[in-house]
């Protein structure tokens, strides 16, 4: 008697292991890190080559505060989105009828 299984057999049926990276993935990671290094080098070089009076300490303080507050606003807004989604605030109420788009409404009831 022949047994059949739902699982395909052969080399293509094996799931890739989590620790195995292909050559394409390694090349992609190396290229992305090279681009990051080039961008950081360019930014540092451009920052140091600017002529003019030095920025006062208060400029660095307010620039740091601006970055921190911008990140804080982003984190809070993303947290509110996740909170709203997980607690059902984004779900449509069961008492509400689905809304009809004005573009699709033909006037007949």
Each residue's pLDDT tens digit, 9-68: 555 555 555 578 899 999 999 999 999 999 999 999 998 888 888 889 999 999 999 999
Q: What angle do CA 38, 71, 62 make, to 5 degrees?
A: 85
pTM (predicted TM-score): 0.45
How many residues make up the chain in this entry? 109
Distance from first CA to last CA of the chain, Å, rounded?
63
Place of tokens 């709203």: 84
CB-CB contact of 58 with 64 (8 Å): no
Higher local confidence (pLDDT), 5 or 95: 95
What's residue 108's pLDDT? 62
Give the C-alpha separation, 36 to 44, whole Å.
12
């Amino acid at each position: 008697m022949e047994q059949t299984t739902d699982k395909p057999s052969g080399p293509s049926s094996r799931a890739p292991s989590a620790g195995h990276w292909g050559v394409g993935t390694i090349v992609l990671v190396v290229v992305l890190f090279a681009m990051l290094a080039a961008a950081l080098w360019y930014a540092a070089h451009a920052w140091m080559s600017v002529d003019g009076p030095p920025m006062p300490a208060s400029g660095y303080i307010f620039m740091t505060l601006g970055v921190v507050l911008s990140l804080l606003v982003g984190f809070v807004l993303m947290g509110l989105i996740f909170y709203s989604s997980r607690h059902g605030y984004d779900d449509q109420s069961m008492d509400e009828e689905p809304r009809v788009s004005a573009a699709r409404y033909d006037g007949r009831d």
